[in-house]
Amino acid sequence: MLEATPLTEGWVLLHEGAALPAVVPGCVHTDLLAAGVIPDPFIGRNETEVAWVGRREWSYRTRLSADSGAEQTDLVFEGLDTVAEILLDGRPLGATRNMHRSYRFDVTGLSGLLSVRFASAYTEAEAVRDRLGERPAAYAEPYPYLRKMACSFGWDWGPTLVTAGIWRPARLEHWSTARIARVRPLVTVEDGAGVVELRIDVERTRIEAPLAVEATVGGVRARAGIDGSTGTVRLELPDARLWWPRGYGEQPLYDVELTLLHGDEALDRWRRRIGFRSVVLDTSADARGTGFTLVVNGERLFARGVNWIPDDVFPSRVDRDRYRTRLRQAADAGVDLVRVWGGGIYESEDFYDACDEFGLLVWQDFPFACAAYPEEQPLRAEVEAEARENVVRLMPHPSLVLWNGNNENLWGFRDWGWEPRLAGESWGEGYYLGLLPRVVAESDPTRPYTAGSPWSGSWERHPNDPDHGTHHSWEVWNRVDYADYLLEVPRFVAEFGWQAPPAHATLRRALPGEELDADSPGMLHHQKADDGNGKLARGLARHFALPEGDFDRWHYLTQVNQARAVAAGIEHWRAHWPACAGTVLWQLNDCWPVTSWAAIDSDGREKPLYHELRRLYADRLLTLGLRPRGLVLALVNQAAGMWSGVARLRRMSVDGTLLGEREVAFRAAGRGVAEVSVPTELTPEGAKEFLVADADGLRALRFAAPDREIPYPRPEFDVTVAPGLVTVVARTLVRDLLLQADRLDPAARADRGLVTLLPGEGVTIGVRGWEDPDPDAARAALYCVENGR
């Protein structure tokens, strides 16, 4: 039987003649940080102090003994970052140039000093650029010339920390006769039965040895022979339970085990968990254009999504528990789809396992983002090998429902001035429209593929045409107000978002000793977007009187504006289902402390946006919006059953006066949207009026003017506290009340975000991690909109 020996002990990192203790898996930065050689690059402006690390060559060493008595011993690296030479007692075993691949070297009977020497990623990328010619990109760093996590070179939310190291596990594998080299599990549903077809490749030491495989799943067993180096075994479960996205059903998972046999001797085993479900991407044309709708088990879905970036700029630090924490936060916010963005990595099995269990659909980008990528060697062969390996690696996961060729590169070619600059040079089109769809069709025909995001499906249309396929909505935020979300109904909004700073406690940890201001040195360093603070200021000015010189108010209002912006988009687009079939927020998470579009900051603290997502992505949603016939109440029902009842509509003055009231009946079919016209006499007019709609504990509000024009009364409310609870009762209108729990204690968390209270209404906020409840402290941590600011 194949035996694996992890290589985790005895590694050192060579630095200026010293052998520093090294952690494998890990990276140079984390080892240098642990040894006290570099400061924490997440703190203050230390990022610039450690830039030299990415420009250096590095070597890892350990002692290796491969003498096991087996016929063959392989040295296996699941991931090397990125350009490396592997030597044993100074003799080359091989070389690598792709972070996204695994590597295997025959070391049978060998022992000695194992060295892994990493070249600078800059040196290698710049050499490829010089050889193949420069290509346009969104950033000046040379990330398109190397198969490495692009965002380690920096992004508009991330630091420039160019890593190197043994970033995924390393081991020795000892085996005899034969081993399982690859298994492709084609999992389908046919005539109501679950079917698993396992296509197996084996590697042999003895060509003549007769081999067979035996597989089991759900109590069903099957056996087949190996013809040369390949074989196929098929299993059918007539009573298999279907795997569903969260909110649509349960997530039953089945253990599959495949054993490679030589007679009665078990040589190797392969184990995975699978789920039975069908997935189709409906891109058929209709009267509005070209749709983009995911269909799982025959059920058409409005995707409630978030974009995922690497959860740490040093990915080796993200372990199973951290993945599960972050993805559980996503699921608890009502998310049912996570897009793994193309400037990052193919995540570890722990990520996809959690998505399988939580019912989170995964849209997986191939790692290409915001650049023209050369298609010549040595890159082309690396891209194909990487794609083939990762498609097969991730195939068992039922959560994976879509392969996507790239992020914004088709759009960039057409719209960002690339086409004339390239003058006929390769730029990646052959990958996205040729190589990658062929690899997916050959290796994983059970899943759909799309060429890019955004992509309209044809060069006959603009790549980012909102009426066709996927759309990225970035005019809002970059140039115009979020009210412009209401001007169009894209078929599927794969990126949109608005910035805000992280939680106050996160800033205090990242910028110790700094007097915080929107434009203080540390705040500016932790704002990576082009003119990010300018866009924040202009976005605020459209709605609020700017709080000059008051950082705490600026911090609160920018977080309010982020939540309001995202709400404007999602409410509008969900109300137009099925014309619009999904929204994928940019972004769920952060990789370091930064002002960004994230709903959860890098310390794991939820911004107000996160709590707003819980409302926006709930099965049922109320929203008020304009239609050609006038103001309507839209009742969005993503639950399976009919939603019917009575909605209460109230026209009110900001001083609390009731100006008009009506109850209206509604019926919203399961997975549908109903609209009820708002009576003309209830339509608010002027800055002093607003409309309140209530139904089944849900609420929608519509104010007729921006906050800076609204004559809000001075907010008055009473606060009481008890262990784990803060209760607020309003005596006036209180708009967007927020308890910033981390101001009570850095460990404290509140269970809700922004809430608007009418006079006489109250709310009880649960607080975890606050050990000494104090009413004065609670009141000081409460913020709301006052006098338009």
User: Are 54 and 80 contained in the same domain?
Assistant: yes
Does residue 284 lie in a domain region? no
What's the rounded mean pLDDT across residues 400-429?
Answer: 97
User: Are 597 and 540 contained in the same domain?
Assistant: yes
Of the residues 114, 144, 172, the one at which a domain ends: 172
pLDDT of residue 66: 78
Determine the structural domain holding residue 733 and report its residue range: 717-785
User: Are 217 and 269 contained in the same domain?
Assistant: yes
Does residue 517 lie in a domain region? yes
Q: What is the CATH number of the domain that holds 254?
A: 2.60.40.10
Half-sphere exposure of 63 (CA within 13 A, CB side): 3
Q: What is the CATH number of the domain that holds 531?
A: 3.20.20.80
pLDDT of residue 552: 96
Residue 526 has pLDDT above 90, yes or no: yes
The runs of H, that is alpha helices, within 165-237 are: none
DSSP assignments along 425-479, one per residue: ---SHHIIIIIHHHHHHHH-TTS-EES-BSB-SSTTS-TT-TTBSEEE--HHHHT
pLDDT of residue 497: 98
Structure-token pair, residue 728: 């607020």
User: Are 492 and 351 contained in the same domain?
Assistant: yes
pLDDT of residue 43: 98
Strand partners, 492: 470
pLDDT of residue 173: 97
pLDDT band at residue 4 using 50, 70 and 90 as cut-offs: very high
Does residue 459 lie in a domain region? no
Region of poorest pLDDT, from 13-22, 36-45, 172-181, 780-789:
780-789
pLDDT in tens, 653-665: 999 999 999 999 9
Does residue 94 lie in a domain region? yes
Tell which residue, 18, 34, 36, has the closest CA to residue 26: 34
Percent of the chain at pLDDT > 90 equals 97
pLDDT of residue 68: 81
Does residue 468 lie in a domain region? no
pLDDT in tens, 702-752: 999 999 999 999 999 999 999 999 999 999 999 999 999 999 999 999 999
User: 153 exposed, middle or buried (CB, 10 Å; 0-12, 13-18, 19+)?
Assistant: buried
User: Are 53 and 120 contained in the same domain?
Assistant: yes
Does residue 187 lie in a domain region? yes
pLDDT band at residue 84 using 50, 70 and 90 as cut-offs: very high
Tell me the C-alpha distance between 54 and 163, whole Å. 6
pLDDT band at residue 772 using 50, 70 and 90 as cut-offs: confident
What is the H or E stretch that residue 539 is in? helix 532-541
Does residue 269 lie in a domain region? yes
pLDDT in tens, 128-152: 999 999 999 999 999 999 999 999 9
pLDDT in tens, 683-697: 999 999 999 999 999
How confident is the prediction for the chain on average, in pLDDT?
97
Tell me the C-alpha distance between 87 and 89, whole Å. 6
User: Are 664 and 564 contained in the same domain?
Assistant: no
Higher pLDDT, residue 304 or 786? 304
pLDDT of residue 67: 79
pLDDT band at residue 789 using 50, 70 and 90 as cut-offs: confident
Structure-token pair, residue 607: 């911004």
Q: What is the DSSP letter of 240?
A: P
Residue at 100: amino acid letter: H
Tell me the C-alpha distance between 121 and 564, whole Å. 41
pLDDT of residue 69: 85
User: Are 162 and 186 contained in the same domain?
Assistant: no
pLDDT in tens, 609-636: 999 999 999 999 999 999 999 999 999 9
Does residue 540 lie in a domain region? yes
User: Are 376 and 498 contained in the same domain?
Assistant: no
Neighbour tally for 420: CB within 10 Å: 7
Cβ contacts of residue 631 below 8 Å, gap of 6+?
624, 625, 677, 678, 683, 691, 702
pLDDT of residue 208: 86
Tell which residue, 679, 675, 622, 677, has the closest CA to residue 651: 679
| Domains identified in the chain, total number | 6
Neighbour tally for 14: CB within 10 Å: 16
Tell me the C-alpha distance between 327 and 72, whole Å. 40
What's the rounded mean pLDDT across residues 186-209?
Answer: 95
User: Are 29 and 114 contained in the same domain?
Assistant: yes
Percent of the chain at pLDDT > 70 equals 100
What is the H or E stretch that residue 780 is in? helix 775-780
Tell me the C-alpha distance between 210 and 34, whole Å. 51
What's the rounded mean pLDDT across residues 209-229?
Answer: 96
Q: Is the CB of residue 564 less than 8 Å from the CB of residue 544?
A: no
pLDDT of residue 700: 98
**Pairing outcome for strands 361-365 and 400-404:** parallel
User: Are 86 and 15 contained in the same domain?
Assistant: yes
pLDDT in tens, 7-17: 999 999 999 99
Half-sphere exposure of 608 (CA within 13 A, CB side): 29
Of the residues 687, 709, 731, the one at which a domain ends: 709
Tell me the C-alpha distance between 274 and 143, whole Å. 35
User: Are 313 and 387 contained in the same domain?
Assistant: no
Of the residues 135, 150, 172, the one at which a domain ends: 172
User: Are 330 and 188 contained in the same domain?
Assistant: no
pLDDT of residue 727: 97
Tell me the C-alpha distance between 172 and 161, whole Å. 30
